[in-house]
Amino acid sequence: MKEEKRTNSRTVRPVLLLLLLLSTGVLLLALHGATYFWNGMTDAESKEAKRCEAAKVQGLVLEIAEIHSSSPVADAIARYLGESVAPNYGGEWEHCVPFVRIVATDESDPSDVRAWGEFRVFNYRLEGDTFHFVSGGNHPGLMHLRETGGALAVVSFDPVLDGSEYTPSAKRIFGKHYQAWMALVADDKVLEAARLQDLADYAAKNNLSATFAKDYGWDPVPLPAPSAPNPLETPESN
């Protein structure tokens, strides 16, 4: 009589359970990696983002609306962006509204006043009551200023580089202010609200009847009310 080989079910079940657990673990790891992939973030970048959020909570950065004030340094940077950077962008635009958010300044050397921050150029065309975005770009980095002709002026600029050099150059340029800058730019919604506020203030300052802003491919969005004037500011003399 031929002997039949039988498999002990008590042995098979634990093996199958072990294989199932291993497969589940591999799947979870794959999904974990895929999550970072689809978010465009590696593990290291995710940890960096969490550190930046912590820095923001700890108060390394002021509320973004409070960072840009009508200071001589901020005004000089805005002039530089409007006069020297904005013309490099194409398109038929009429209005340049520079975006200046300074995270740190060093005015200890009058011949080299330094300002680290997020600097952007937004060029618009005004049609009726709507600002249409035409061109522009981001220029984070370090501005060097000195007094020229009785007023502060930008004399050179150390920009954060693009591509694979973005993070290394930002860390090199911002140094101890890197976390503060990263915390500043961590929230796109807050940055967008600040851009619209700048645009509303620009329209009010220049007596323009604009009440909306429109980016290409998006519906127009209403502008907020203009900021209240700072009572400590001295009106310009005519």
- Give 154-173 pLDDT, tens digit per residue: 999 999 999 999 999 999 99
Compute the half-sphere exposure of residue 46: CA atoms within 13 Å on the CB side of its CA: 11
pLDDT for 26 beyond 70: no
- 73 pLDDT above the threshold of 90: yes
pLDDT over 70 percentage in the chain: 66
pLDDT of residue 104: 92
Query: Rounded to an integer, what distance in angstroms lies between the CA atom of residue 44 and that of residue 28?
Result: 19
Contacts of 148 (CB under 8 A, 6+ apart): 155
Rounded CA separation 18/217 (Å) = 52
97 pLDDT more than 70: yes
Q: Is residue 128 part of a domain?
A: yes
pLDDT on residue 31: 44
Q: Residue 89 sits in which domain range?
A: 64-186
pLDDT at 142 over 90: yes
Instruction: Examine residue 12 and state whether it is found in any structural domain, yes or no.
Output: no
Residue 188: DSSP 8-state: H
Which tokens hold the place of 166? 């973005």
Provide the β-strand partners of residue 137. Answer: 121
Give residue 60's pLDDT band: very low, low, confident or very high (50, 70, 90): low
User: Residue 58 — very low, low, confident or very high, per pLDDT cuts 50/70/90?
Assistant: low
Q: Is residue 198 in some structural domain?
A: no
For position 76, what pLDDT does the model report?
A: 95
Which residues 6+ apart lie within 8 Å of 3 measured at CB?
A: none
Number of domains in the chain: 1
**For residue 227, what pLDDT is reported?**
83
Q: What pLDDT, on a 0 to 100 scale, did the predictor assign at position 116?
A: 96
**Averaged over 46-68, what is the pLDDT?**
59
**In this structure, is residue 238 part of a structural domain?**
no
Task: Answer yes or no: is 123 within a domain.
Answer: yes
Contact between residue 114 and residue 68 where contact means Cβ atoms under 8 Å apart: no
pLDDT over 90 for what percent of the chain? 55
Q: DSSP characters for 36-74?
A: HHHTT--HHHHHHHHHHHHHHHTTSS--HHHH--S-HHH
Rounded distance, CA 124 to CA 113, Å? 30
d(CA 90, CA 82): 14
Stated as kind and residue range, the H or E segment containing 137 is strand 130-138
Whole-number average pLDDT of the chain: 79
Give the residue, 221 or 2, on which the prediction is more confident: 221
Q: What residues does 135 pair with on adjacent strands?
A: 123
Residue-by-residue DSSP string for 205-220: HTT----EEE-TTS--
- pTM confidence score: 0.71
Torsion angle in degrees (nearest 10) through CA of 223, 225, 226, 227: -120
Pairing of strands 212-214, 141-148: unpaired
Q: What's residue 150's pLDDT?
A: 84
Other C-beta atoms closer than 10 Å to the C-beta of 2 total 3
Inside any domain, residue 98: yes
pLDDT of residue 1: 52
**Least confident stretch, 35-39, 95-99, 101-105:** 35-39
More confident residue, 12 or 173: 173
